Structure 1
Amino acid sequence: MTAPLYRLADATLVEPLVQDFQAWWMTVAPMPASLHLQAYLLPLLKAYLQTPDFHAKAAKDPELSGSSFVGIAPERAEEVRALMQRMTTAQEDNIKLAEAFDEFQTQLLAEAKGQSLEPLYARLPEPLKGVVELVYDYVNRPSMRVHEGLLYRGRHHKTELQSMRIRRLKADAERDSLLTTPRLMEAGQLDWKVPFHDERLDKLFSLDLEPKPLEWIRDVLGDAVQSDADLMPLLTEAPQTLPETWNGPGPRIRYVGHACVLVEWKGTSILIDAVVPVRPEKLGPLARMSFADLPRRIDYVVITHSHPDHLDIETLLRLRHRVGTLMVPRASGALAGDYSPRLLGKALGFKNVLEPYFYESLPIPDGEIIAAPFMGEHGDVAHAKTAWIIRTGEERLFFAADSMCVDETTYRDLRSTVGDLHTVFMNTEIVGAPHTWMLEGFFPKKRDRKLEKNRRCRGSNSTEGLRLLELVGAKRLFNYAMGLEPWMEHIIGPAATPETPRMKESDLLLTTARERGMQAERLEGAREVVLKS
C-alpha cells in the first residue's frame, strides 16, 4: 500500500523569529539589530514588566495602534522576564556594541568640527574597533560608516538565535504586532531551531508545491517534532492545483494585497513587495491569494524598500526555493541605518541578489525591469529605496509604492528617459509615522526635536499624487498599499476606515483623476487586474 502524501495545510503559518521576536530587518541586520535591542526591545520589555496589565490591554486597543505595547497576558509576565534575561545574556556583546556606538557618536558630534579624525581612532571603544570608519561629509559633519559585511561574518550575527515557529492560524486577528510582541510558545506549536539561511527551509516549503510522506517531513523537522500528534494538524492530504505559467496575450497582473503585485508576461513572473498571507481557518469576505496561488517558478522578487509591509522576511523565506533572483534597493552605507538589503538577502539564503542603480535595466522577454528613483517617504533620512518600472512590450507599469512628488523634475526626467509610464501603482498615506518610529537607536538621545515635528514617513497627498500622474504620462492609476487587508494588521495595525485621512485623500485623488480622463481605482483584496488600452 502506498504511503499517504502530505503538504502544508492552507492555515499553517511559519514565522521566522529571533529570540521569540518576529524577524524583520531591525532584528536581523547586525548593527541595526544591536541598536534596536539596546534602545527599544529591552526597554520595552522592562516597561511591560512594570505594568503588564496596562500593556496587555493597550496592545488590543485600535486607538493605540502603532504604539509600543506588549500584547502578552499578565499571567505570563514571568515568561517575559525569563525571555528578557535570555536576551541580555545571549546578546551581551551586541548590547555592548550598541552602547559603544551610542556613546562614541555623541563624542564624535561634540568634538569633530573639521579637524583630522585620525587621532579619534585611538579613542574608539573596544567593541567598535575594526567595525567602523570615521568619516566626514563635505561640510564637515562627522559620522561612522559601518563595515556591515564583517558584522555578518562575525559574532554579532547570531544565527543560533534564529528559529521558525510553526502553527495553525485560526484567524488573522490572532497575530500580535510584529514589532512589539514576542511569540511565546503555545500548545500545538512547533519551535524549529534552524537558521534562516539553512537549506532545510527549502525542503519544508517545497511542501507548498509537492506533497511528501510523513517520514520525509519528520526527518526535515528533526527534534522540533516530538510526536505525530503535534505534526498532523499542520498537514493535509487534500490535493491542490497550481496555476499554469502565463504566456499571454498581454501581461497578467494579479494583485495579492496591500503593496504585493504579481506581473506575468511571456513566461516570466515578477512579484513586487512580496507579502503573501496564509489562509486561516476563519476567512473574512475579502478574496485572498496564498502560496498555492503563485507560480511554481517566480523569476524575480522585487522590493521597493525595507518597511516590513514591503519587505517581509516570513514571505521571502517561504518563497526562496521558487525564486530565481531577488532584486533590492541599493544602500549607500553612509549611515548605520542605511543598511544593505543585499547583504540581508544573502544572509537569508538567497543566492542571486541584485541591487541596481537608478535607471539600470534588466532585460526580460520583450521587456525590461528598470530601477527608478523613489522620492520622499522616509522622513529625509537616507535609506535604501527604489521604485520599479516593468515594461511588457509597449506597456509600462510604474510601482511607486509610497513615493512623494517632492521634485517634479525627477518625474519629468523619468518620463523623458524611459517613456510614458502608462499604469501607476501608488498610495496616499498622508500622515505617516514619525521618521524616528522604531528607529530611535540610530539617533542621539539629545537633539532638537522641535525641528523634527513635521518629518513624517508619508506618501503623496492627492495634489502631489495627481501631479506625479501628469508628469509621467499616466493613463491609469491603481491606488494600493492602503492598509485595507486584514492579513496586514499584525504589521501595520487595523485596516483603514473611510474616515481616516489616507482614505479621504484617496477618494479625492481617484475622483480628480477620473475627471481628467484617467482610469482610476483603489485595490482591496486579491484580484486579477485587466488593463484596457
Structure 2
Amino acid sequence: MSTLYLKPNVLAEPLFNQWYASPALLFPATAAMYVANAHVKTMKSFVSNPQLHVEALKDPAMLGSNYLHHEARRAPEVAELLERTLREQAPLLELAEAIRGLDALLATKADGHSLEPLYREVPPALRGFVELLYDLNNQPSFRFIEPLLYRSRFYNPAAQSVLLTLAEDDHSRAFVFSTPRLFGPEERERSVQVKLPFHHEALDALFRMRTEPGPVEAMRERLGIPAGEAERFARLFTPEPPAPVAPRPEGVRVRYFGHACLLVESRETSVLFDPVIPYKHGQGPERFSFEELPPRVDYVVITHAHLDHAVLETLLPLRHRIGTVVVPRSVGGTLLDPSLRLILQQCGFRNVVELGELESLPLPSGGALTAIPFLGEHADLAIATKSAYVVELEGRRIMAIADSNAFEPEVYAHVHAMVGDMDVLFVGMECEGAPLTWIAGPLMTRKVTRKMDQSRRFSGSNSTTALAMVERFRPKQVYVYAMGQEPWLTFLTSIRYTPQSYPIVESDKLVATCRERGIAAERLFGCKDIPVAPAVR
C-alpha cells in the first residue's frame, strides 16, 4: 500500500453546527449565547431578506459585521440549517434563555439580603450549575461551575467537525464568524467533512501525515469518511515530502509567522506564541507555513482568548507536536471569562498549564517564561485571561506584549522593576479596535447605548502608549506586530488597511521615533527571521 503526505495547503476549518468554531463555541454557556443571539438571529434575518445581506456586503466596511456571506439563492439551505439548529441545539437555546432569566431574577430580587431563598427560583436548566454571589458592594452576580457544564447535556461534541479543503489563495475565504458553512454541490465537490469531535485522536494521525507519510485509504476509514468521498479525500495528499526544517539556531532566533505568531528558538527550546499559521499554496506574499515549524514545539503560549489569537484551526493540527500549552490564569465561571484551560482540555490537549501574573515557568539552561499584566484591548470588561510574556533564553530577554496598551504606564513601571530591560520588544498597535458589542454583544443580557458601545473599544497601543513601553523597557530592537495586515488573516479579522489608516499612521510614527533614537525598529509583515544578539548588561 502506497503512503502519501498531507498537502501543505490543506485547510482544516473547525466547525460547530456548521459555524466556524472559536473557543467561545466550546464552553456551553457562551456557546448557548452565541447560538441564540448571533447564529439564529443572523440566519433568521438572511432567510427573511437575503438581498439585504448581499447588498450590505458590497461595502468593504461591512465585511466584519453580522451579515451572512452567501448568495441570495441559498436562502433555502440557510432556512434548513436554521430549522435543524432550532431542533438539534434546543438544549443550548434553553440554556441561553435560562441565563437571561437568572440575570433578570438577580436584577429584581437580589437586594442585599441572603441569596439562599433565590436558589429555588433559578431557572431549571441552570439548577446545580451555578452559585449565586454578591460583591462587597452587594451587587449580585452568579458563576458557573464550569466542569459540570462540560459533563451535562449542554455539551455536545457531536456538533463538532473539521472541514478539509485545499487552499488555493488568500482571498477566497469570507469573514468566518458571521457565516455558516453550507454543503451544497459546490462545497461537496471541493471539500471533505470529518465528522469527529475535536478531541478525537484520529485527527492527530491525519495531521501527522504533513510530515510522516501514511496510507490514505486506511486514514479515510479511520476518519469515518464514506467510500463515495474517497476520490475527493485522496486529492488532499501528495507523494512529495515537505521541505527540510531549518536547523535550530546557535544562539536565539525569533521567526515571525504573521500577525501575533512568533516562534522563539534556541538550541534546546522552542516557544510558539499565538499560532495562526498560513497555508503554503504558491500565491500571495512570502510566508512561513507549517513546514517551517520544528518537529516538536516545546511550548505553545496563548496571550488571550480572542478570535485571532486562540485559533483552533492552527492549534488542532499542531496538537500532536506540542509539549505544553501555556495559557493565562482565568478567574473562570463567567460568560466573559471562561477557563481557556478547560476549553483546550475538551479539545484533546492533555498538558495545559495556567500562569498567573508574574508567575514563571522554568525553561532549559536557566531560562524562564514569565506572564506579566496586560492592560487594554478588552473594552474595560472583567477579563482576567490575558497576559503578555517575557521569554528569557540564553541570557536574552524578549517581551511579546500582544494587544497591550500602556494607558496606565505605572503598571509597566512596576513590571520593569520585576523583569528589567528587554533585548527585543514586540508590541501590537491595532489602535482602532472594534466596538464593545462586536465580540461581547451576543453575551450581553442588557442593551448598551451606541455612545457607550463606541466609547469602549478593543484597541491596542497607539504611538504614544507604545513609545511609553519602549522608554520603560529600553529594548535594542522594537517590532510592531499583531496588526492583522497579512492577506491570509482577513477571514478572521476583516482588516484592510490603507496608508492613511490610523494604525498604519501611528505605527509609522513609532518606528520613525525609535530609529531616530538609534533603536532598530520595523513594522512586521508576512514573515521574518530575527536573530537576537547576545545580551550586554
TM-score category (smaller protein)? over 0.9
Structure 2 counterpart of 1:370, which letter?
T
Contact 2:146 2:333 in 1 (8 A): no
TM-score normalised by length of structure 2: 0.95
1:159–1:23 Cα change, 3 Å: same
The whole-number CA distance in structure 2 between the counterparts of 1:171 and 1:59 is 21
**Correspondences of 1:316-331 after superposition (within 5 Å):** 316-331=315-330
1:222–1:60 Cα change, 3 Å: farther
1:476 — aligned with what?
477
2:310 — aligned with what?
311
TM-score normalised by length of structure 1: 0.96
1:226 — aligned with what?
228
SS in 1 for 2:147: helix
1:67–1:227 Cα change, 3 Å: closer
1:330–1:59 Cα change, 3 Å: farther
Contact 1:335 1:382 in 2 (8 A): no
Q: Of 191, 197, 200, which residue of structure 2 is paired with 1:198?
A: 200
Structure 2 counterpart of 1:264, which letter?
E
1:479–1:110 Cα change, 3 Å: same
Unaligned 5+ segments in structure 2 are none
The whole-number CA distance in structure 2 between the counterparts of 1:447 and 1:258 is 31
The whole-number CA distance in structure 2 between the counterparts of 1:90 and 1:159 is 12
The whole-number CA distance in structure 2 between the counterparts of 1:448 and 1:68 is 18
The whole-number CA distance in structure 1 between the counterparts of 2:105 and 2:162 is 40
2:351 — aligned with what?
352
Identity of aligned residues (%): 39
Work out whether 1:372 is the aligned partner of 2:372.
yes
1:298 — aligned with what?
297
Structure 2 counterpart of 1:521, which letter?
E
1:177 — aligned with what?
175
1:171–1:320 Cα change, 3 Å: same
2:360 — aligned with what?
361
Contact 1:268 1:364 in 2 (8 A): yes
1:505 — aligned with what?
506
Unaligned 5+ segments in structure 1 are none
Cα offset, 1:487, TM superposition: 0.7
Contact 2:192 2:229 in 1 (8 A): no
2:426 — aligned with what?
425
**Correspondences of 1:369-408 after superposition (within 5 Å):** 369-383=369-383, 384-408=385-409
SS in 1 for 2:445: coil
Cα deviations across residues 87-138 of structure 1 (Å, max 9, x unaligned)?
Answer: 1111111111111111220231233232211111111110111111111111
**Correspondences of 1:506-521 after superposition (within 5 Å):** 506-521=507-522
2:126 — aligned with what?
128
Once structures 1 and 2 are overlaid, which stretch shifts more, 328-337 or 197-206? 328-337
1:432–1:216 Cα change, 3 Å: same
The whole-number CA distance in structure 2 between the counterparts of 1:317 and 1:142 is 38
1:433–1:224 Cα change, 3 Å: farther
1:263 — aligned with what?
264
1:60–1:213 Cα change, 3 Å: farther
1:283 — aligned with what?
283
Structure 1 counterpart of 2:342, which letter?
L
The whole-number CA distance in structure 1 between the counterparts of 2:323 and 2:86 is 38
Contact 2:299 2:326 in 1 (8 A): yes
SS in 2 for 1:249: coil
Once structures 1 and 2 are overlaid, which stretch shifts more, 429-438 or 338-347? 429-438
The whole-number CA distance in structure 2 between the counterparts of 1:227 and 1:99 is 40
Contact 2:333 2:339 in 1 (8 A): no
Contact 2:33 2:96 in 1 (8 A): yes
Q: How many residues align?
A: 528
**Correspondences of 1:201-220 after superposition (within 5 Å):** 201-220=203-222
SS in 2 for 1:456: coil
Cα offset, 1:421, TM superposition: 2.0
Cα deviations across residues 211-253 of structure 1 (Å, max 9, x unaligned)?
Answer: 112333223223345243212221111122331551x321111
The whole-number CA distance in structure 1 between the counterparts of 2:468 and 2:439 is 31
Structure 2 counterpart of 1:512, which letter?
T
The whole-number CA distance in structure 2 between the counterparts of 1:188 and 1:142 is 51
Cα offset, 1:450, TM superposition: 4.0
Structure 1 counterpart of 2:294, which letter?
P
1:450–1:106 Cα change, 3 Å: farther
Once structures 1 and 2 are overlaid, which stretch shifts more, 293-302 or 165-174? 165-174
1:86 — aligned with what?
84
Once structures 1 and 2 are overlaid, which stretch shifts more, 118-127 or 193-202? 118-127
The whole-number CA distance in structure 1 between the counterparts of 2:242 and 2:447 is 57
Structure 2 counterpart of 1:406, which letter?
F
The whole-number CA distance in structure 2 between the counterparts of 1:481 and 1:446 is 30
1:109 — aligned with what?
107
Contact 1:330 1:355 in 2 (8 A): yes
1:139 — aligned with what?
137
Structure 1 counterpart of 2:172, which letter?
E
The whole-number CA distance in structure 2 between the counterparts of 1:14 and 1:529 is 29
Calculate the aligned-residue CA RMSD, in Å.
Answer: 1.6
1:308–1:453 Cα change, 3 Å: closer
